[in-house]
Structure 1
Amino acid sequence: MTEFGKLLKYLRTSRQVTQSQLAHNLISRDTVVRIENKHQSPSFETGAEILEKLGISLSDFDKQRAAYNPNSFSELSQLFLYQLSSSGDHQTLKRIKELARKIYQEDENSTARNIMLAVEAMMKIDDDNFDVQKLKSLRCLLKPVWKDLSKIDEWCMLDLRILDTSLFFFELETAREIMHHAFRIIDKKYPTLAGLKAAFSANYCYLLILNQKIKAPFLELAESRKIASQTGRYDLVLVADIRRIVLEHLPDYKIKVNHKLAILNDLGAQKLVISLRKEINTILAR
Protein backbone atom coordinates (compact mmCIF):
# COMPACT_ATOMS: atom_id res chain seq x y z
CA MET A 1 0.00 0.00 0.00
CA THR A 2 2.67 2.44 -1.03
CA GLU A 3 0.23 5.38 -1.44
CA PHE A 4 -2.13 4.31 1.38
CA GLY A 5 -1.86 7.49 3.45
CA LYS A 6 -2.23 9.92 0.58
CA LEU A 7 -5.24 8.12 -0.88
CA LEU A 8 -6.75 7.57 2.59
CA LYS A 9 -6.79 11.33 3.15
CA TYR A 10 -8.46 11.88 -0.22
CA LEU A 11 -11.13 9.23 0.47
CA ARG A 12 -11.74 10.46 4.03
CA THR A 13 -12.13 14.13 3.09
CA SER A 14 -14.29 13.32 0.06
CA ARG A 15 -16.67 11.54 2.46
CA GLN A 16 -16.50 14.47 4.92
CA VAL A 17 -15.19 12.25 7.71
CA THR A 18 -12.92 13.91 10.28
CA GLN A 19 -9.70 12.35 11.49
CA SER A 20 -11.21 11.97 14.97
CA GLN A 21 -14.29 10.20 13.59
CA LEU A 22 -12.13 7.82 11.59
CA ALA A 23 -9.89 7.09 14.58
CA HIS A 24 -12.76 6.56 17.08
CA ASN A 25 -12.54 3.19 18.88
CA LEU A 26 -9.83 2.03 16.48
CA ILE A 27 -6.63 4.07 16.66
CA SER A 28 -5.58 7.50 17.92
CA ARG A 29 -6.13 10.64 15.87
CA ASP A 30 -2.35 11.18 15.95
CA THR A 31 -1.91 7.79 14.25
CA VAL A 32 -4.33 8.84 11.49
CA VAL A 33 -2.28 12.03 11.02
CA ARG A 34 0.98 10.04 10.79
CA ILE A 35 -0.54 7.59 8.30
CA GLU A 36 -1.95 10.34 6.09
CA ASN A 37 1.37 12.17 6.12
CA LYS A 38 3.15 8.94 5.14
CA HIS A 39 5.13 8.85 8.39
CA GLN A 40 3.60 5.50 9.41
CA SER A 41 2.17 2.48 7.61
CA PRO A 42 -0.68 0.53 9.23
CA SER A 43 -0.70 -3.23 9.54
CA PHE A 44 -2.82 -5.08 6.99
CA GLU A 45 -5.55 -5.70 9.60
CA THR A 46 -5.62 -2.08 10.78
CA GLY A 47 -5.61 -0.80 7.21
CA ALA A 48 -8.58 -3.05 6.36
CA GLU A 49 -10.48 -1.82 9.45
CA ILE A 50 -9.79 1.83 8.57
CA LEU A 51 -11.12 1.28 5.05
CA GLU A 52 -14.15 -0.60 6.40
CA LYS A 53 -15.07 2.45 8.51
CA LEU A 54 -15.09 4.44 5.27
CA GLY A 55 -17.22 1.77 3.58
CA ILE A 56 -14.45 0.64 1.23
CA SER A 57 -13.37 -2.95 0.55
CA LEU A 58 -9.75 -3.87 -0.12
CA SER A 59 -10.51 -4.65 -3.77
CA ASP A 60 -12.30 -1.31 -4.18
CA PHE A 61 -9.34 0.43 -2.56
CA ASP A 62 -6.93 -1.11 -5.10
CA LYS A 63 -9.21 0.11 -7.92
CA GLN A 64 -9.38 3.57 -6.39
CA ARG A 65 -5.62 3.57 -6.01
CA ALA A 66 -5.12 2.87 -9.71
CA ALA A 67 -7.62 5.59 -10.63
CA TYR A 68 -6.35 8.19 -8.16
CA ASN A 69 -3.53 9.31 -10.39
CA PRO A 70 -5.69 9.70 -13.52
CA ASN A 71 -5.09 7.70 -16.70
CA SER A 72 -1.31 8.07 -16.75
CA PHE A 73 -0.80 5.90 -13.67
CA SER A 74 -3.29 3.34 -14.95
CA GLU A 75 -1.41 3.31 -18.26
CA LEU A 76 1.89 2.90 -16.44
CA SER A 77 0.56 -0.02 -14.37
CA GLN A 78 -0.77 -1.81 -17.44
CA LEU A 79 2.43 -1.25 -19.41
CA PHE A 80 4.60 -2.49 -16.56
CA LEU A 81 2.51 -5.60 -15.90
CA TYR A 82 2.28 -6.36 -19.63
CA GLN A 83 6.05 -6.10 -19.93
CA LEU A 84 6.47 -8.71 -17.20
CA SER A 85 4.13 -11.17 -18.89
CA SER A 86 5.33 -10.68 -22.45
CA SER A 87 8.47 -10.57 -24.53
CA GLY A 88 8.60 -6.78 -24.37
CA ASP A 89 11.59 -5.06 -25.94
CA HIS A 90 14.03 -2.32 -24.97
CA GLN A 91 11.81 0.39 -26.47
CA THR A 92 8.89 -0.70 -24.29
CA LEU A 93 11.08 -0.57 -21.20
CA LYS A 94 12.27 2.89 -22.18
CA ARG A 95 8.68 4.07 -22.62
CA ILE A 96 7.72 2.70 -19.18
CA LYS A 97 10.71 4.36 -17.56
CA GLU A 98 9.94 7.76 -19.14
CA LEU A 99 6.25 7.58 -18.18
CA ALA A 100 7.12 6.55 -14.62
CA ARG A 101 9.61 9.43 -14.34
CA LYS A 102 6.99 11.91 -15.58
CA ILE A 103 4.39 10.71 -13.06
CA TYR A 104 6.88 10.75 -10.20
CA GLN A 105 8.04 14.28 -11.03
CA GLU A 106 4.46 15.55 -11.28
CA ASP A 107 2.92 13.80 -8.28
CA GLU A 108 5.78 12.33 -6.19
CA ASN A 109 4.10 8.95 -6.61
CA SER A 110 6.52 6.55 -4.93
CA THR A 111 5.14 3.53 -6.82
CA ALA A 112 5.94 5.28 -10.10
CA ARG A 113 9.45 5.99 -8.75
CA ASN A 114 9.85 2.32 -7.79
CA ILE A 115 8.76 1.18 -11.25
CA MET A 116 11.16 3.67 -12.85
CA LEU A 117 14.12 2.31 -10.85
CA ALA A 118 13.16 -1.34 -11.35
CA VAL A 119 12.85 -0.85 -15.11
CA GLU A 120 16.15 1.02 -15.26
CA ALA A 121 17.81 -1.95 -13.56
CA MET A 122 16.09 -4.35 -15.97
CA MET A 123 17.42 -2.36 -18.92
CA LYS A 124 20.98 -2.51 -17.57
CA ILE A 125 20.69 -6.25 -16.95
CA ASP A 126 19.36 -6.76 -20.49
CA ASP A 127 22.45 -4.98 -21.79
CA ASP A 128 24.95 -6.98 -19.74
CA ASN A 129 25.56 -10.57 -18.73
CA PHE A 130 24.50 -11.54 -15.22
CA ASP A 131 27.21 -11.73 -12.62
CA VAL A 132 27.51 -10.85 -8.96
CA GLN A 133 29.71 -7.78 -9.45
CA LYS A 134 27.35 -6.17 -11.94
CA LEU A 135 24.39 -6.93 -9.70
CA LYS A 136 26.20 -5.36 -6.74
CA SER A 137 26.92 -2.25 -8.80
CA LEU A 138 23.19 -1.88 -9.45
CA ARG A 139 22.17 -2.58 -5.86
CA CYS A 140 22.48 1.08 -4.87
CA LEU A 141 20.03 1.97 -7.64
CA LEU A 142 17.32 -0.14 -5.98
CA LYS A 143 18.00 0.98 -2.39
CA PRO A 144 15.19 3.59 -2.42
CA VAL A 145 12.72 0.88 -3.48
CA TRP A 146 13.44 -1.32 -0.47
CA LYS A 147 13.71 1.70 1.85
CA ASP A 148 10.17 2.54 0.79
CA LEU A 149 8.58 -0.92 0.75
CA SER A 150 10.29 -2.25 3.88
CA LYS A 151 8.21 0.23 5.90
CA ILE A 152 4.94 -1.17 4.58
CA ASP A 153 3.24 -4.13 6.24
CA GLU A 154 1.14 -5.13 3.26
CA TRP A 155 2.25 -4.83 -0.37
CA CYS A 156 -0.22 -4.32 -3.18
CA MET A 157 -0.08 -6.18 -6.49
CA LEU A 158 2.24 -3.63 -8.13
CA ASP A 159 4.56 -3.66 -5.12
CA LEU A 160 4.83 -7.45 -5.39
CA ARG A 161 5.64 -7.26 -9.09
CA ILE A 162 8.26 -4.58 -8.52
CA LEU A 163 9.94 -6.62 -5.78
CA ASP A 164 9.91 -9.80 -7.86
CA THR A 165 11.54 -7.94 -10.74
CA SER A 166 14.12 -6.42 -8.38
CA LEU A 167 14.93 -9.49 -6.29
CA PHE A 168 18.28 -10.03 -8.06
CA PHE A 169 19.61 -6.77 -6.63
CA PHE A 170 19.20 -7.52 -2.93
CA GLU A 171 21.48 -9.20 -0.43
CA LEU A 172 20.66 -12.89 0.00
CA GLU A 173 19.11 -12.54 3.45
CA THR A 174 17.01 -9.55 2.38
CA ALA A 175 15.89 -11.38 -0.77
CA ARG A 176 14.85 -14.40 1.29
CA GLU A 177 12.93 -12.16 3.70
CA ILE A 178 11.18 -10.45 0.77
CA MET A 179 10.31 -13.79 -0.85
CA HIS A 180 8.73 -15.32 2.26
CA HIS A 181 6.83 -12.14 3.14
CA ALA A 182 5.56 -12.03 -0.45
CA PHE A 183 4.38 -15.65 -0.09
CA ARG A 184 2.35 -14.73 3.00
CA ILE A 185 0.75 -11.73 1.27
CA ILE A 186 -0.09 -13.70 -1.88
CA ASP A 187 -1.65 -16.54 0.13
CA LYS A 188 -3.67 -14.09 2.22
CA LYS A 189 -4.64 -11.38 -0.23
CA TYR A 190 -3.92 -12.47 -3.81
CA PRO A 191 -4.52 -16.25 -4.15
CA THR A 192 -5.05 -15.79 -7.90
CA LEU A 193 -1.41 -14.65 -8.12
CA ALA A 194 -0.10 -17.99 -6.85
CA GLY A 195 2.11 -18.25 -9.94
CA LEU A 196 4.02 -15.21 -8.71
CA LYS A 197 5.30 -17.32 -5.81
CA ALA A 198 7.04 -19.52 -8.39
CA ALA A 199 8.62 -16.43 -9.97
CA PHE A 200 9.94 -15.22 -6.60
CA SER A 201 11.33 -18.66 -5.87
CA ALA A 202 12.98 -18.97 -9.29
CA ASN A 203 14.63 -15.56 -8.96
CA TYR A 204 15.86 -16.36 -5.46
CA CYS A 205 17.36 -19.64 -6.71
CA TYR A 206 19.39 -17.84 -9.33
CA LEU A 207 20.59 -15.33 -6.75
CA LEU A 208 21.86 -18.29 -4.68
CA ILE A 209 23.64 -19.71 -7.72
CA LEU A 210 25.24 -16.36 -8.53
CA ASN A 211 26.53 -16.14 -4.99
CA GLN A 212 27.99 -19.65 -5.35
CA LYS A 213 25.93 -21.22 -2.60
CA ILE A 214 26.53 -24.70 -4.01
CA LYS A 215 24.38 -26.90 -1.73
CA ALA A 216 21.53 -24.48 -1.17
CA PRO A 217 20.46 -24.16 -4.82
CA PHE A 218 19.72 -27.89 -5.13
CA LEU A 219 17.36 -27.73 -2.15
CA GLU A 220 15.83 -24.46 -3.28
CA LEU A 221 15.57 -25.67 -6.89
CA ALA A 222 13.57 -28.70 -5.75
CA GLU A 223 11.27 -26.41 -3.75
CA SER A 224 11.06 -23.94 -6.63
CA ARG A 225 10.12 -26.72 -9.04
CA LYS A 226 7.44 -27.93 -6.63
CA ILE A 227 5.93 -24.45 -6.27
CA ALA A 228 6.02 -23.90 -10.05
CA SER A 229 4.30 -27.24 -10.67
CA GLN A 230 1.62 -26.57 -8.04
CA THR A 231 0.85 -23.13 -9.47
CA GLY A 232 0.82 -24.15 -13.13
CA ARG A 233 4.02 -22.26 -14.03
CA TYR A 234 5.39 -25.01 -16.27
CA ASP A 235 7.86 -22.59 -17.83
CA LEU A 236 9.48 -22.23 -14.41
CA VAL A 237 9.39 -26.01 -13.89
CA LEU A 238 11.63 -26.19 -16.97
CA VAL A 239 13.83 -23.38 -15.63
CA ALA A 240 14.40 -25.32 -12.40
CA ASP A 241 15.20 -28.47 -14.40
CA ILE A 242 17.69 -26.63 -16.63
CA ARG A 243 19.46 -25.05 -13.67
CA ARG A 244 19.76 -28.41 -11.91
CA ILE A 245 21.15 -30.07 -15.05
CA VAL A 246 23.74 -27.31 -15.54
CA LEU A 247 24.81 -27.39 -11.88
CA GLU A 248 25.20 -31.19 -11.99
CA HIS A 249 27.29 -30.80 -15.15
CA LEU A 250 26.97 -34.43 -16.21
CA PRO A 251 28.58 -35.50 -19.55
CA ASP A 252 25.29 -35.32 -21.48
CA TYR A 253 24.10 -32.06 -19.90
CA LYS A 254 24.14 -30.13 -23.20
CA ILE A 255 21.72 -32.55 -24.86
CA LYS A 256 19.35 -32.40 -21.90
CA VAL A 257 19.55 -28.60 -21.64
CA ASN A 258 18.91 -28.09 -25.36
CA HIS A 259 15.91 -30.40 -25.16
CA LYS A 260 14.41 -28.36 -22.30
CA LEU A 261 15.19 -25.07 -24.07
CA ALA A 262 13.44 -26.35 -27.20
CA ILE A 263 10.31 -27.09 -25.16
CA LEU A 264 10.42 -23.58 -23.68
CA ASN A 265 10.79 -22.14 -27.15
CA ASP A 266 7.77 -24.13 -28.32
CA LEU A 267 5.81 -22.68 -25.40
CA GLY A 268 6.51 -19.21 -26.81
CA ALA A 269 9.01 -18.20 -24.11
CA GLN A 270 11.69 -16.99 -26.52
CA LYS A 271 12.85 -14.14 -24.25
CA LEU A 272 13.24 -16.57 -21.37
CA VAL A 273 15.29 -18.91 -23.58
CA ILE A 274 17.66 -16.05 -24.48
CA SER A 275 17.99 -15.12 -20.80
CA LEU A 276 18.66 -18.73 -19.81
CA ARG A 277 21.40 -19.10 -22.41
CA LYS A 278 23.17 -16.09 -20.86
CA GLU A 279 22.59 -17.55 -17.42
CA ILE A 280 24.05 -20.95 -18.40
CA ASN A 281 27.21 -19.28 -19.70
CA THR A 282 27.53 -17.36 -16.44
CA ILE A 283 27.08 -20.51 -14.31
CA LEU A 284 29.62 -22.49 -16.35
CA ALA A 285 32.15 -19.66 -16.14
CA ARG A 286 32.11 -19.58 -12.32
Structure 2
Amino acid sequence: MVNQEKPFGPDLKKIRENKGYTQEVVARNAMSRSTYTRFETEIITTTVPKYFQILNNLDMSHKEFSYIHNKYHLSDKEAILYQFNSVTTNSDLLLLKTLKLEAENYLLKNDDPVIKDIVEIYEALLTLAHTHDLKLAYAHAEKVWFRLEKMDKWYLTELRLLNNILFFFLPETSLFISKRALLDLNNYRHFREATELKMAFSMNLVYLLMENQDFKQSLLHADALIEDCKAESKYIMLAVLYVRKGIILEKIQSEKDSAIFIQKGFTILEAIEEWEIKKELEQELSYYLNS
Protein backbone atom coordinates (compact mmCIF):
# COMPACT_ATOMS: atom_id res chain seq x y z
CA MET A 1 0.00 0.00 0.00
CA VAL A 2 1.44 3.37 -1.06
CA ASN A 3 2.03 5.77 1.84
CA GLN A 4 -0.38 8.59 0.98
CA GLU A 5 1.24 10.94 3.51
CA LYS A 6 4.58 10.86 1.69
CA PRO A 7 4.68 12.46 -1.80
CA PHE A 8 5.44 9.77 -4.37
CA GLY A 9 6.17 12.00 -7.37
CA PRO A 10 9.86 12.32 -6.39
CA ASP A 11 10.18 8.52 -6.15
CA LEU A 12 8.67 8.13 -9.61
CA LYS A 13 11.17 10.69 -10.91
CA LYS A 14 14.12 8.83 -9.36
CA ILE A 15 12.97 5.52 -10.83
CA ARG A 16 12.38 7.09 -14.26
CA GLU A 17 15.78 8.76 -14.34
CA ASN A 18 17.55 5.64 -13.09
CA LYS A 19 15.95 3.62 -15.89
CA GLY A 20 16.92 6.29 -18.39
CA TYR A 21 13.30 6.88 -19.47
CA THR A 22 12.11 10.29 -20.70
CA GLN A 23 9.01 11.98 -19.33
CA GLU A 24 7.35 11.49 -22.71
CA VAL A 25 7.79 7.70 -22.44
CA VAL A 26 6.45 7.51 -18.89
CA ALA A 27 3.51 9.84 -19.60
CA ARG A 28 2.42 7.97 -22.75
CA ASN A 29 -1.31 7.08 -22.82
CA ALA A 30 -1.71 8.68 -19.38
CA MET A 31 -1.24 12.43 -19.77
CA SER A 32 0.81 15.04 -21.60
CA ARG A 33 4.50 15.46 -20.78
CA SER A 34 3.90 18.90 -19.26
CA THR A 35 1.13 17.52 -17.04
CA TYR A 36 3.36 14.63 -16.00
CA THR A 37 6.08 17.13 -15.03
CA ARG A 38 3.64 18.77 -12.65
CA PHE A 39 2.67 15.34 -11.31
CA GLU A 40 6.31 14.40 -10.58
CA THR A 41 6.80 17.67 -8.71
CA GLU A 42 3.60 17.12 -6.69
CA ILE A 43 1.88 20.23 -8.08
CA ILE A 44 -1.06 18.03 -9.08
CA THR A 45 -2.37 14.55 -8.30
CA THR A 46 -3.79 12.06 -10.77
CA THR A 47 -6.45 9.38 -11.09
CA VAL A 48 -5.92 5.74 -10.27
CA PRO A 49 -6.09 4.57 -13.94
CA LYS A 50 -3.44 7.13 -14.93
CA TYR A 51 -1.26 6.14 -11.98
CA PHE A 52 -1.34 2.51 -13.10
CA GLN A 53 -0.58 3.51 -16.69
CA ILE A 54 2.47 5.45 -15.48
CA LEU A 55 3.69 2.40 -13.53
CA ASN A 56 3.07 0.24 -16.60
CA ASN A 57 5.22 2.61 -18.66
CA LEU A 58 7.90 2.33 -15.98
CA ASP A 59 7.70 -1.50 -16.25
CA MET A 60 6.84 -1.70 -12.57
CA SER A 61 3.99 -3.16 -10.53
CA HIS A 62 2.10 -1.26 -7.85
CA LYS A 63 3.39 -3.78 -5.32
CA GLU A 64 7.03 -3.08 -6.21
CA PHE A 65 6.56 0.69 -6.27
CA SER A 66 4.82 0.59 -2.90
CA TYR A 67 7.78 -1.33 -1.48
CA ILE A 68 10.29 1.18 -2.89
CA HIS A 69 8.15 4.13 -1.79
CA ASN A 70 8.20 2.78 1.78
CA LYS A 71 12.02 2.69 1.70
CA TYR A 72 12.16 -1.00 0.85
CA HIS A 73 9.94 -1.94 3.78
CA LEU A 74 6.50 -3.50 3.89
CA SER A 75 3.63 -1.50 5.32
CA ASP A 76 2.16 -2.79 8.60
CA LYS A 77 -0.65 -4.63 6.81
CA GLU A 78 1.64 -5.98 4.10
CA ALA A 79 3.97 -7.33 6.79
CA ILE A 80 1.08 -9.13 8.53
CA LEU A 81 -0.07 -10.63 5.22
CA TYR A 82 3.47 -11.65 4.28
CA GLN A 83 4.03 -13.38 7.63
CA PHE A 84 0.65 -15.10 7.43
CA ASN A 85 1.39 -16.40 3.93
CA SER A 86 4.76 -17.71 5.11
CA VAL A 87 3.58 -19.45 8.25
CA THR A 88 2.48 -23.10 8.15
CA THR A 89 0.04 -25.02 10.31
CA ASN A 90 2.89 -26.76 12.14
CA SER A 91 4.68 -23.53 13.12
CA ASP A 92 5.83 -23.23 16.72
CA LEU A 93 3.30 -21.81 19.16
CA LEU A 94 5.48 -18.88 20.22
CA LEU A 95 5.64 -17.66 16.62
CA LEU A 96 1.87 -18.02 16.22
CA LYS A 97 1.26 -16.05 19.41
CA THR A 98 3.65 -13.30 18.29
CA LEU A 99 2.02 -13.00 14.87
CA LYS A 100 -1.46 -13.00 16.40
CA LEU A 101 -0.46 -10.18 18.77
CA GLU A 102 0.93 -8.11 15.88
CA ALA A 103 -2.34 -8.54 13.98
CA GLU A 104 -4.38 -7.62 17.06
CA ASN A 105 -2.28 -4.48 17.60
CA TYR A 106 -2.94 -3.47 14.00
CA LEU A 107 -6.69 -3.83 14.60
CA LEU A 108 -6.53 -1.39 17.51
CA LYS A 109 -6.16 1.41 14.95
CA ASN A 110 -7.63 -0.18 11.83
CA ASP A 111 -10.93 -1.88 11.07
CA ASP A 112 -9.87 -4.55 8.59
CA PRO A 113 -11.91 -7.71 7.85
CA VAL A 114 -8.95 -9.65 6.41
CA ILE A 115 -6.74 -9.01 9.44
CA LYS A 116 -9.68 -9.98 11.68
CA ASP A 117 -9.88 -13.26 9.77
CA ILE A 118 -6.15 -13.82 10.22
CA VAL A 119 -6.49 -13.32 13.99
CA GLU A 120 -9.28 -15.93 14.06
CA ILE A 121 -7.15 -18.39 12.08
CA TYR A 122 -4.21 -17.94 14.44
CA GLU A 123 -6.61 -18.43 17.36
CA ALA A 124 -7.98 -21.61 15.76
CA LEU A 125 -4.46 -23.02 15.31
CA LEU A 126 -3.47 -22.13 18.87
CA THR A 127 -6.69 -23.56 20.31
CA LEU A 128 -6.18 -26.83 18.46
CA ALA A 129 -2.56 -27.04 19.63
CA HIS A 130 -3.48 -26.40 23.27
CA THR A 131 -6.72 -28.42 23.57
CA HIS A 132 -6.63 -30.92 20.67
CA ASP A 133 -10.34 -30.15 20.44
CA LEU A 134 -11.35 -29.63 16.81
CA LYS A 135 -14.77 -28.29 17.85
CA LEU A 136 -13.26 -25.46 19.90
CA ALA A 137 -10.86 -24.60 17.10
CA TYR A 138 -13.64 -24.77 14.50
CA ALA A 139 -15.54 -22.03 16.34
CA HIS A 140 -12.84 -19.59 15.21
CA ALA A 141 -12.49 -20.93 11.67
CA GLU A 142 -16.27 -20.75 11.30
CA LYS A 143 -16.17 -16.96 11.76
CA VAL A 144 -13.90 -16.69 8.74
CA TRP A 145 -16.12 -18.98 6.67
CA PHE A 146 -19.21 -17.01 7.70
CA ARG A 147 -17.83 -13.98 5.87
CA LEU A 148 -16.31 -15.75 2.87
CA GLU A 149 -19.18 -18.09 2.03
CA LYS A 150 -21.34 -15.08 1.13
CA MET A 151 -18.97 -14.03 -1.65
CA ASP A 152 -19.87 -14.92 -5.24
CA LYS A 153 -16.20 -15.09 -6.17
CA TRP A 154 -13.02 -15.57 -4.16
CA TYR A 155 -9.84 -13.64 -4.88
CA LEU A 156 -6.26 -14.52 -3.98
CA THR A 157 -6.43 -13.05 -0.47
CA GLU A 158 -9.61 -14.96 0.35
CA LEU A 159 -8.24 -18.14 -1.21
CA ARG A 160 -5.15 -17.95 0.99
CA LEU A 161 -7.38 -17.62 4.06
CA LEU A 162 -9.47 -20.60 3.01
CA ASN A 163 -6.43 -22.76 2.35
CA ASN A 164 -5.47 -22.32 6.01
CA ILE A 165 -8.79 -23.42 7.49
CA LEU A 166 -9.83 -26.29 5.22
CA PHE A 167 -8.94 -29.03 7.69
CA PHE A 168 -11.20 -27.55 10.38
CA PHE A 169 -14.36 -28.36 8.41
CA LEU A 170 -16.32 -31.51 7.78
CA PRO A 171 -15.05 -33.38 4.69
CA GLU A 172 -18.04 -32.46 2.54
CA THR A 173 -17.56 -28.74 3.27
CA SER A 174 -13.83 -28.94 2.62
CA LEU A 175 -14.52 -30.78 -0.62
CA PHE A 176 -16.96 -28.08 -1.73
CA ILE A 177 -14.50 -25.29 -0.87
CA SER A 178 -11.61 -27.01 -2.67
CA LYS A 179 -13.57 -27.57 -5.89
CA ARG A 180 -14.89 -24.02 -5.93
CA ALA A 181 -11.47 -22.58 -5.10
CA LEU A 182 -9.89 -24.41 -8.04
CA LEU A 183 -12.50 -22.93 -10.38
CA ASP A 184 -11.74 -19.41 -9.16
CA LEU A 185 -7.99 -20.03 -9.41
CA ASN A 186 -8.36 -20.80 -13.12
CA ASN A 187 -8.83 -17.05 -13.59
CA TYR A 188 -5.32 -16.46 -12.22
CA ARG A 189 -3.33 -18.85 -14.41
CA HIS A 190 -0.75 -16.13 -15.18
CA PHE A 191 -0.01 -15.50 -11.48
CA ARG A 192 2.83 -17.43 -9.86
CA GLU A 193 1.15 -17.17 -6.47
CA ALA A 194 -1.99 -18.74 -7.89
CA THR A 195 0.01 -21.72 -9.15
CA GLU A 196 1.17 -22.44 -5.60
CA LEU A 197 -2.37 -22.10 -4.25
CA LYS A 198 -3.82 -24.28 -6.99
CA MET A 199 -1.37 -27.06 -6.19
CA ALA A 200 -2.19 -26.79 -2.47
CA PHE A 201 -5.94 -27.01 -3.09
CA SER A 202 -5.45 -29.84 -5.59
CA MET A 203 -3.47 -31.79 -3.00
CA ASN A 204 -6.27 -31.27 -0.49
CA LEU A 205 -8.78 -32.42 -3.09
CA VAL A 206 -6.86 -35.67 -3.69
CA TYR A 207 -6.89 -36.39 0.04
CA LEU A 208 -10.55 -35.42 0.52
CA LEU A 209 -11.68 -37.62 -2.36
CA MET A 210 -9.73 -40.50 -0.84
CA GLU A 211 -11.48 -39.90 2.47
CA ASN A 212 -14.77 -39.87 0.58
CA GLN A 213 -13.89 -43.26 -0.97
CA ASP A 214 -14.03 -41.72 -4.45
CA PHE A 215 -10.77 -43.28 -5.55
CA LYS A 216 -11.29 -42.97 -9.31
CA GLN A 217 -11.77 -39.19 -9.14
CA SER A 218 -8.91 -38.94 -6.67
CA LEU A 219 -6.64 -40.78 -9.12
CA LEU A 220 -7.51 -38.36 -11.93
CA HIS A 221 -6.60 -35.35 -9.80
CA ALA A 222 -3.47 -37.08 -8.45
CA ASP A 223 -2.18 -37.85 -11.95
CA ALA A 224 -2.70 -34.24 -13.09
CA LEU A 225 -1.00 -32.89 -9.97
CA ILE A 226 1.93 -35.29 -10.35
CA GLU A 227 2.71 -33.72 -13.72
CA ASP A 228 2.48 -30.22 -12.19
CA CYS A 229 4.86 -31.26 -9.39
CA LYS A 230 7.39 -32.52 -11.91
CA ALA A 231 7.18 -29.27 -13.89
CA GLU A 232 7.56 -27.17 -10.72
CA SER A 233 10.19 -29.42 -9.06
CA LYS A 234 7.97 -29.91 -6.00
CA TYR A 235 9.65 -33.07 -4.75
CA ILE A 236 8.04 -33.38 -1.33
CA MET A 237 4.57 -32.99 -2.80
CA LEU A 238 5.49 -35.40 -5.61
CA ALA A 239 6.61 -38.01 -3.07
CA VAL A 240 3.36 -37.69 -1.11
CA LEU A 241 1.35 -38.02 -4.31
CA TYR A 242 3.25 -41.14 -5.37
CA VAL A 243 2.43 -42.80 -2.05
CA ARG A 244 -1.19 -41.70 -2.25
CA LYS A 245 -1.43 -42.90 -5.83
CA GLY A 246 -0.13 -46.25 -4.63
CA ILE A 247 -2.84 -46.35 -1.97
CA ILE A 248 -5.50 -45.47 -4.55
CA LEU A 249 -4.31 -48.15 -6.97
CA GLU A 250 -4.42 -50.69 -4.16
CA LYS A 251 -7.99 -49.67 -3.42
CA ILE A 252 -9.05 -50.11 -7.05
CA GLN A 253 -7.31 -53.49 -7.31
CA SER A 254 -4.07 -52.68 -9.10
CA GLU A 255 -1.72 -54.14 -6.50
CA LYS A 256 1.35 -54.49 -8.75
CA ASP A 257 1.53 -50.83 -9.74
CA SER A 258 0.58 -49.83 -6.20
CA ALA A 259 3.82 -51.10 -4.68
CA ILE A 260 5.88 -49.36 -7.36
CA PHE A 261 4.44 -45.91 -6.65
CA ILE A 262 4.60 -46.31 -2.88
CA GLN A 263 8.27 -47.24 -3.11
CA LYS A 264 8.98 -44.33 -5.47
CA GLY A 265 7.45 -41.91 -2.96
CA PHE A 266 9.41 -43.25 -0.01
CA THR A 267 12.64 -43.31 -2.03
CA ILE A 268 12.30 -39.57 -2.80
CA LEU A 269 11.66 -38.74 0.87
CA GLU A 270 14.65 -40.80 1.96
CA ALA A 271 16.87 -39.10 -0.64
CA ILE A 272 15.96 -35.63 0.64
CA GLU A 273 15.92 -36.83 4.28
CA GLU A 274 12.31 -35.88 5.03
CA TRP A 275 11.97 -38.49 7.78
CA GLU A 276 9.00 -36.91 9.58
CA ILE A 277 6.89 -36.78 6.41
CA LYS A 278 7.89 -40.38 5.62
CA LYS A 279 6.71 -41.43 9.09
CA GLU A 280 3.37 -39.65 8.62
CA LEU A 281 2.86 -41.30 5.23
CA GLU A 282 3.64 -44.72 6.70
CA GLN A 283 0.82 -44.09 9.19
CA GLU A 284 -1.47 -42.98 6.35
CA LEU A 285 -0.57 -46.11 4.41
CA SER A 286 -1.43 -48.29 7.39
CA TYR A 287 -4.71 -46.42 7.94
CA TYR A 288 -5.96 -46.95 4.40
CA LEU A 289 -4.66 -50.42 3.64
CA ASN A 290 -5.61 -51.94 7.00
CA SER A 291 -9.13 -50.49 7.06
- TM-score, normalising length: structure 2: 0.60
Partners of 1:240 and 1:191 in 2: CA distance: 21
Q: Does 1:76 align with 2:80?
A: yes
Q: Give the 3 Å change call, closer, same or farther, for CA 278–90 of structure 1 in structure 2.
A: farther
The equivalent residue for 1:202 is: 203
Q: Does 1:164 align with 2:163?
A: yes
The equivalent residue for 1:104 is: 107
Q: Give the 3 Å change call, closer, same or farther, for CA 267–96 of structure 1 in structure 2.
A: farther
The equivalent residue for 2:17 is: none
Q: Give the 3 Å change call, closer, same or farther, for CA 239–70 of structure 1 in structure 2.
A: closer
The equivalent residue for 1:117 is: 120
The Cα of 1:168 is off from its aligned counterpart by 3.3
The equivalent residue for 2:243 is: 242
How well do the aligned residues superpose, as a CA RMSD in angstroms? 4.4
- Conserved 8 A contact 2:138-2:168: yes
The equivalent residue for 2:269 is: 264
| Letter aligned with residue 206 of structure 2 | C
The equivalent residue for 1:33 is: none
The Cα of 1:180 is off from its aligned counterpart by 2.1
The equivalent residue for 2:92 is: 89
**2:155 partner SS:** coil
- Conserved 8 A contact 1:199-1:236: no
Q: Give the 3 Å change call, closer, same or farther, for CA 63–266 of structure 1 in structure 2.
A: farther
- TM-score, normalising length: structure 1: 0.61
Partners of 2:124 and 2:281 in 1: CA distance: 18
The Cα of 1:209 is off from its aligned counterpart by 1.9
The equivalent residue for 2:36 is: none
Partners of 2:97 and 2:193 in 1: CA distance: 29
| Letter aligned with residue 52 of structure 1 | P
Size of the aligned set, in residue pairs, is 235
The Cα of 1:225 is off from its aligned counterpart by 1.4
- Conserved 8 A contact 2:249-2:257: no
- Conserved 8 A contact 2:246-2:257: no
Q: Give the 3 Å change call, closer, same or farther, for CA 213–230 of structure 1 in structure 2.
A: same
Partners of 1:121 and 1:270 in 2: CA distance: 27
Which stretches in structure 1 are left out of the alignment for 5+ residues?
A: 1-6, 16-49
Match of 1:177 among 176, 180, 192: 180
The Cα of 1:61 is off from its aligned counterpart by 5.1
Q: Give the 3 Å change call, closer, same or farther, for CA 205–124 of structure 1 in structure 2.
A: farther
The Cα of 1:51 is off from its aligned counterpart by 3.8
Matches within 5 A, 1:199-238: 199-238=200-239
Partners of 1:126 and 1:225 in 2: CA distance: 31
| Letter aligned with residue 155 of structure 1 | Y
Q: Give the 3 Å change call, closer, same or farther, for CA 137–89 of structure 1 in structure 2.
A: closer
Partners of 1:278 and 1:90 in 2: CA distance: 25
